Structure formats: C-alpha cells, structure tokens
C-alpha cells in the first residue's frame, strides 16, 4: 500500500483571505515504511510574508523571490502523489491551501475522501490531551530536536514516524506479523508460541458494532476508512 505524508508552510492561516502556500514537503510510505522517496518545493507566493508567519517557519519573501510559482510545480506534485491516500496533521488546513493553489492553476481539487488526518486519529487515541506534533513526538519517543523552526519536509518526515505509531504499524515492522521469525523462538528454540486457552471475550457490544457500521455507510463509497474496515462493515 502506498501512502503520502505531507505538510505545508504558508503566509498565514486562511487562503480565503489571500494567504498563500510557500512550501510543500511529501514523504512516500510503502506498507507503512518510508521508502526514501520525497517531494519538496519552495513556492513564490507573489506576496509578502507577515512577521507572525516568518517567526514560525523563518522563510522570507526575499528567499522565495526566485522560486517557482505553484502553477509551475503543480504537475510534478500531482504526479508524485498519484492516487495514494494523503496523510497530514490538521489536514483541513493543508488541504485548503493546496486546493486553493490547484484552483488558481486551473486543476481539479484533491478530494477530501483521500485524506487521513493524524490530528483526528490522535484525538481519538488520546482524548483530552494535547495532540500537537511536538507532544505526539514526546509520547512516542520520537526525536524532533531538529525541529527548531517549522519546515514542510522535516515535519512530513517526523509526522510519518508519528503516523506509524498512531496506527500501531511499527510493531509489524519489528517482525511481530504472522509468518516472521519471533525473537522468543530465537532465544528459546523449541519453546513454541504461547496461546490463550480461550479467546478474549469481545469488548464491544453488538449495538456499538451496529453504530460503527452505520457511521461507515455515511462516509461514501470512496472513503479511505473502507480500506481498513473489517469485511462486515465494507
């Protein structure tokens, strides 16, 4: 499975108020493992950089003066992301800016159904806690010491690590998936895997299963959730 984790930097908070995208960074995941393939561009926003935005990312209008317009990099960006699911933190923000730039470039917008929002995932897993990217790094023991300023590619790389932990995919990478050699088998040959004499009782009531099934149906046929849902909720 191919996924793209991405992040943007902008001149402000609202594309509807004339703010523009100035940097985009993407990281490719193949079966939840970073492939090493990335996409990174700075973009000339054709406007000034407010002081508040500059304090966050440190990117100046002077630095961007000789960078390409978004229209000039749009095709390369769309080719890189292909039809893969797109993973972002507070995804509505990033998607809003990208779609605004695509509209200016007379290209079709990216469908919301393609987006996986790690902020939503984090809020479900850690309700009531702070789920900023830095806080999630602290929770999962991810080194973000290089993140002295916001930067699209660096933040996308860090977010890719956070995402893998949020969906518990890292354990599969460590060889805990079926069919891989277990560390216990190496240390204690012949011991065999220990199994429960009886499976654990289900923790969800039938009414909760039905409510979840009904919710999935409201998302439409193209919802990314269907790629992860059990067969009985597809």
Domain boundaries, the chain: 2-173, 195-234
Is pLDDT above 80 for 224? no
pLDDT of the residue at 196: 59
Q: Give the pairing type, strands 21-30 and 33-42.
A: antiparallel
Is pLDDT above 50 for 187? no
Mean pLDDT of 71-97: 97
Calculate the dihedral angle through the C-alpha atoms of 183, 200, 231, 34, rounding to the nearest 10 degrees. -30
Highest mean pLDDT: which of 61-65, 147-151, 191-195, 224-228?
A: 61-65
Is pLDDT above 50 for 189? no
Q: CA–CA separation, 82 vs 63, rounded Å?
A: 29
Topology of domain 2-173 in CATH is Nucleotidyltransferase; domain 5 (3.30.420)
Q: What is the pLDDT of residues 124-141, one digit of tens each?
A: 999 988 999 999 999 999
Catalytic residue, candidates 19, 57, 89, 150: 150
Q: What is the pLDDT of residues 106-126, one digit of tens each?
A: 999 999 999 999 999 999 999
- In Å, how far are 34, 96, 162, 167, 189 from 136, measured between CA atoms? 19, 23, 7, 13, 38
DSSP tag of 18: T
Mean pLDDT of 23-38: 97
pLDDT of the residue at 191: 42
Share of the chain above pLDDT 70, in %: 80
pLDDT of the residue at 221: 72
Q: CA–CA separation, 7 vs 25, rounded Å?
A: 5
Is pLDDT above 60 for 185? no
Q: CA–CA separation, 128 vs 208, rounded Å?
A: 22
pLDDT of the residue at 206: 78
Is pLDDT above 70 for 30? yes
Least confident of 20-29, 41-50, 203-212, 225-234: 225-234
DSSP tag of 20: -
Q: Residue 27 in contact with residue 86, Cβ under 8 Å? A: no
Q: CA–CA separation, 204 vs 56, rounded Å?
A: 43
pTM for the whole structure: 0.72
- The reply to whether 32 belongs to the active site is no
Mean pLDDT of 151-173: 89
Mean pLDDT taken over the chain: 85
pLDDT of the residue at 193: 45
pLDDT interval class at 176 (50, 70, 90): very low
Is pLDDT above 90 for 89? yes
pLDDT of the residue at 145: 84
């Amino acid at each position: 499975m191919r996924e793209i984790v991405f992040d943007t930097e902008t001149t402000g908070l609202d594309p509807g108020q004339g703010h523009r995208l100035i940097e985009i960074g993407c990281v490719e995941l193949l079966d939840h493992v970073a492939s090493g393939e990335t996409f990174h561009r700075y973009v000339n926003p054709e406007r000034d950089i407010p002081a508040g935005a500059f304090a966050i990312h440190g990117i100046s209008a002077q630095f961007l003066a000789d960078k390409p317009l978004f229209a000039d990099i749009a095709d390369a960006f769309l080719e890189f992301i292909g039809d893969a699911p797109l993973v972002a933190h507070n995804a509505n923000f990033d998607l809003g800016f990208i779609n605004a730039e695509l509209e200016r470039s007379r290209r079709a917008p990216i469908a919301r159904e393609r987006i996986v929002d790690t902020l939503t995932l984090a809020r479900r897993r850690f309700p009531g806690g702070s789920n900023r990217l830095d806080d999630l790094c602290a929770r999962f023991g991810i080194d973000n010491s290089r993140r002295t300023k916001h930067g699209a590619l660096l933040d996308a790389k860090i977010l890719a690590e956070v995402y893998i932990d949020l969906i518990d995919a890292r354990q599969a990478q460590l060889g805990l998936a079926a069919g891989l050699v277990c560390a216990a088998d190496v240390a204690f040959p012949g011991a065999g895997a220990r199994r429960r004499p009886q499976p654990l009782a289900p923790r969800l009531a039938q009414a909760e299963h039905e409510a979840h099934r009904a919710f999935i149906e409201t998302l439409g046929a193209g919802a990314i959730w269907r790629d992860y849902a059990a067969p009985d909720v597809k």
